[in-house]
Amino acid sequence: MEQKEISQAVISRLPRYFRYLGELKDEGVERISSQELSELMQVTASQIRQDFNNFGGFGQQGYGYNVEYLYDEISKILGLNKTHHLIIIGAGNLGQAIGNYMNFERRGFILKGLFDCNPALEGKKVRGISVQPMDHIGEFVKENDIDIAVLTIPKTSAVAIAEELVSYGIKAIWNFAHVDLHVPEGIQVENVHLSDSLMKLSYNINRYNSENTESRQGEGR
């Protein structure tokens, strides 16, 4: 069957549906209508129906969605029914914080190794996993079937390290370095910039403040 191209905007909303459905499932909720889900998630019911229609709809009209089924289907779409093996490159503040965060493993992202060029970090344990020197990476990637590399190194070295990782067979990069990586077709890159989110927050504070100032000025007239 030919696969329909799904927009990135829809894909980016799926993890949020997945989180909410996981919570509903944990609370023992069996069925939910798009209207109820809409109120819970503060998105319109038509948005939810449109998003789900990309995948065949999932639900029966007038009957609502089966929470567990929907959760499982979205999990499959997101590839969370498979296990992924990760390595972290750059075991500094951010690399260690990610390494210490256990929750990713619940979703099938298994941390296998940490690497750093700083000899002072060699052997340091993060959740029981020792930091290794960079010259071990190639062999480690092949032997441990690593598919995702997390890049938490400065941007100056990220491009060259990404190329090296691809040559070892890495299929995906979760990139925290502030630089665009140019990788061959077929290699997936997801850039994460926490500061983008902070700037969005700053914009919203600004917008709210200026709208309120304007409305207070309007009232005073």
- Measured from the CB atom, the residue of 24 and 91 that comes closer to ligand NAI is 91
Which of 84, 152, 170, 174 touches ligand NAI (CB under 6 A)? 152
User: Considering the rule CB under 6 A, would residue 176 count as an interface residue with ligand NAI?
Assistant: yes
Instruction: Identify which range of 26-34, 146-154, 163-171, 213-221 contacts ligand NAI by CB under 6 A.
Output: 146-154
Q: For residue 56, how far is the Cα from the chain centroid?
A: 24
Query: Tokens for 87?
Result: 């390595």
Which of 52, 84, 88, 90 touches ligand NAI (CB under 6 A)? 90
Please enumerate in sequence order all residues whose Cβ is within 8 A of that of 136, keeping only pairs 6 or more positions apart, or say none.
Answer: 115
User: Considering the rule CB under 6 A, would residue 73 count as an interface residue with ligand NAI?
Assistant: no
User: Considering the rule CB under 6 A, would residue 95 count as an interface residue with ligand NAI?
Assistant: yes
Query: Tokens for 41?
Result: 């998630």
- Measured from the CB atom, the residue of 116 and 147 that comes closer to ligand NAI is 116
- Measured from the CB atom, the residue of 67 and 94 that comes closer to ligand NAI is 94
- Measured from the CB atom, the residue of 197 and 204 that comes closer to ligand NAI is 197
- Measured from the CB atom, the residue of 22 and 133 that comes closer to ligand NAI is 133
User: Considering the rule CB under 6 A, would residue 161 count as an interface residue with ligand NAI?
Assistant: yes
CB 14 within 8 A of CB 20: no
User: Considering the rule CB under 6 A, would residue 154 count as an interface residue with ligand NAI?
Assistant: yes
Which of 48, 87, 89, 98 touches ligand NAI (CB under 6 A)? 89
- CA distance linking residue 21 with residue 48, whole number of Å: 13
Count of CB atoms situated within 10 Å of the CB of 20:
16
Instruction: Identify which range of 98-106, 116-124, 138-146, 202-210 contacts ligand NAI by CB under 6 A.
Output: 116-124
CB of 8 to ligand NAI, least distance (A): 19
- Measured from the CB atom, the residue of 110 and 134 that comes closer to ligand NAI is 134
User: Considering the rule CB under 6 A, would residue 192 count as an interface residue with ligand NAI?
Assistant: yes
| Binding stretches for ligand NAI (CB under 6 A) | 89-95, 116-118, 121, 134, 152-155, 157, 161, 176-178, 192-195
